[in-house]
Amino acid sequence: MELIQNINSFLWNDNVLYVVLAAGVLFTTWSGFCQYRALTHGLPVTLGRYDNPSDPGAINHFQALSTAMSSTVGLGNIGGVAIAISLGGPGALFWMWVVGVFGMALKVTEVTLAMMYRNLDDPTNPRGGPMWVSKRAFAELGLPRLGLLIGSLYCLATIIGSFTGGNMFQAWNVADVTHTFFGWPRLLVGAILSITVALVIIGGIKRIGKVTSIIVPVMCIMYLIAGAYVLVLNLASLPSIFSMIIASAFNPTQASGAFVGGTMGSAMLWGMKRALYSSEAGLGSSAIAHSAAKTNEPVREGIVAGLEPFIDTLVVCTITGLIILSSGVWNRSADGLINELPEFEEISTTQWQLPPVPIANFSSEQNITPVFIAVTINDGELIRVHGEIVADAEGHRALFNNVFSLHPPSFRDNGVFKSYNGATLTAHAFNQTHDWLGIYLVTIAAWFFAISTIIAQGYYGEQAVYFLFKGKGIFSFKLTYCFATFVATFGFITTDRQLDAVTTTGTGLVLISGLSITLLFGYKAIKEYHRYIQRLSAGDFDNSEPQE
């Protein structure tokens, strides 16, 4: 895990985030605020206003958007937002909005680019994405080997990302939620997910498009209705919550209850990371799904893609974030107390441990309950120390993980908090309205969102394998991918930081490679975009009628 954290610190240093923001601002300005066109022109395109069955492609605009959004609208919206707020504070939601707005421009650009360079050797089953852009655009410059190399690196990153954030993050969250609320064995959950995913992805993009075009709209509508209901009940608190979000985005957030404090930097880091994971803006991965769309107009599909970050981040993630903040679960009070604080025992120059600690005023229906305490290390850094509370005949005792610190650690207070990781924190927030609401809503949503995301990400990985091995090894990849869904539920991930570390690595690798390709050749997409908008404004497409 330490190696993964070191890789992530390189992939997600401040300069990378600044580049992503700058790229979003660049394409927003360069396109003349294409976000407007995504909202006004993208909707009628998605609803079939310009569909033509004779155009090359495998699926229509709505199915392409649904497939791409099945990868973005998922547990990142439920569990990812919870992780961002619990670790970065309320200000993380503001930085998610920033990524959402400028991410729309990135989506328009990268998908337009992918549509311009997609492979139409088989017009009924096109293939596209940043790897094809790299291969063909560099070839136009007389650098085919360089293009193939960069495209291959992107494919490797995509495969890693599909396995980690696209697959294992989803499976772990579903297993954790289902086990926590219903007691299902995690391995049983993993087995059911693996079989379900296998039945869909083996059928290819047309079956994927049909399944996701049903799952995504239904689950989005259900989740948004339930979220709106909770927010209406907490309407009076929303103005103060928005004020808190803005203030926390630019100022340190005081430690309180389960929240161990955060700075502007941590709010920005966690907010942008989780928003990029959720919306995939800048990664270029959703362009793989959009490249299967039936159209002769590359920009048209790019504009449709611009709707993704709006729906995913600015709508769904916002609903989740407001529910978590209005419920108060992000800085909830302690679930148990340590009446007599023990001394930390030194076991090496930088490692400390606690003996088994008796816990008072604690209740749980489980024999073993994951918990954490707030501890100060080094020069005042406040961290969570995770552990487990075990129930026996003598009451409740906590066994905590070792602490790494140059100086003796100290307790912030005597509070012990139950660990709600990812989606379970969102469910706990819904439960503050009705005891049953979060349990059933989030569990059902987690299952369907996870299945749709794993399916879409499996298609992304499949296309990367196709590019690397010229169509060979697809079936082996699918089997390995489905097995990874099962492996993720083995229990080797236990905390939200470990969960974030695994998904962040995959997302970071795809971002670095995908954004580089978009920045290198994005000017081609912008030129094509302006030509299309000129034709649209001139009424060239006014005679288009809905097609059967």
Q: Establish if 544 belongs to a structural domain.
A: no
* Phi–psi pair at 26, nearest 5 degrees: -60, -50
71-80, 113-122, 307-316: least confidently modelled range: 71-80
- Report the C-alpha gap between 160 and 171 in whole angstroms: 15
Mark whether 455 and 372 lie in a shared domain.
no
Structural domain of 397: 336-413
What's the confidence (pLDDT) of residue 18?
Answer: 84
Mark whether 285 and 378 lie in a shared domain.
no
Last residue of a domain, one of 367, 391, 413: 413
Last residue of a domain, one of 385, 413, 441: 413
Q: Could you tell me how many residues make up the chain?
A: 548
Identity of residue 320: T
| Token output for 149 | 């190399």
Q: Establish if 447 belongs to a structural domain.
A: yes
Last residue of a domain, one of 366, 388, 413: 413
Q: Is the pLDDT of residue 499 over 80?
A: no
Confidence at 2, pLDDT banded by 50, 70, 90: low
Residue partners of 289: CB distance under 8 A and separation at least 6: 64, 67, 68, 71, 205, 456, 459, 460
- Report the C-alpha gap between 78 and 100 in whole angstroms: 16
Q: Establish if 543 belongs to a structural domain.
A: no
| Token output for 180 | 């926590």
Residue 515's nearest CA partner among 14, 15, 6, 19 is: 19
Q: Establish if 221 belongs to a structural domain.
A: yes
Residue 430's nearest CA partner among 249, 243, 272, 234 is: 234
Mark whether 243 and 119 lie in a shared domain.
yes
Q: Residue 270: give its domain's CATH number.
A: 1.20.1740.10
Mark whether 399 and 511 lie in a shared domain.
no
If you average pLDDT over residues 29-54, what whole number do you get? 94
Q: Establish if 418 belongs to a structural domain.
A: no
Q: Alpha carbon of 341 to those of 44, 364, 410: distances in Å?
A: 63, 22, 9
Q: Establish if 542 belongs to a structural domain.
A: no
Mark whether 189 and 163 lie in a shared domain.
yes
Confidence at 264, pLDDT banded by 50, 70, 90: confident
Contact 301, 62 (CB under 8 A): no
Q: What is the mean pLDDT of the chain?
A: 89
Mark whether 200 and 340 lie in a shared domain.
no
Q: Establish if 38 belongs to a structural domain.
A: yes
| Token output for 286 | 């959703």
What's the confidence (pLDDT) of residue 365?
Answer: 67
- pLDDT tens-digit profile of 432-490? 998 888 889 888 988 988 898 899 899 999 999 999 998 899 999 999 999 999 998 98
Mark whether 367 and 489 lie in a shared domain.
no
Mark whether 516 and 390 lie in a shared domain.
no
Q: Establish if 547 belongs to a structural domain.
A: no
Identity of residue 389: I
Mark whether 263 and 308 lie in a shared domain.
yes
- Report the C-alpha gap between 548 and 539 in whole angstroms: 23
Q: Is the pLDDT of residue 548 over 50?
A: no
| Alpha helix positions (H), 164-203 | 169-182, 186-201
If you average pLDDT over residues 57-63, what whole number do you get? 92
Question: CB pairs under 8 A, 24+ apart, for 227-233?
Answer: 227/319, 227/320, 227/322, 227/323, 228/319, 229/433, 230/323, 230/326, 230/327, 230/430, 230/433, 230/437, 231/319, 231/322, 231/323, 231/326, 233/433
If you average pLDDT over residues 165-178, what whole number do you get? 86
Q: Is the pLDDT of residue 491 over 80?
A: no
Mark whether 403 and 469 lie in a shared domain.
no
Structural domains in the chain (count): 2
Largest CA distance in the chain: 80
What's the confidence (pLDDT) of residue 519?
Answer: 95
Strands 381-392 and 351-353: unpaired
What's the confidence (pLDDT) of residue 544?
Answer: 55
What's the confidence (pLDDT) of residue 79?
Answer: 80
Mark whether 355 and 439 lie in a shared domain.
no
58 vs 496, more confident: 58
What's the confidence (pLDDT) of residue 495?
Answer: 62
Mark whether 150 and 172 lie in a shared domain.
yes
Reported as half-sphere exposure (CB side, CA atoms, 13 A), residue 264 has a value of 5
Q: Is the pLDDT of residue 546 over 50?
A: no
- Tell me the whole-structure pTM to 2 decimals: 0.86
Rg of the chain on CA atoms, in Å:
24
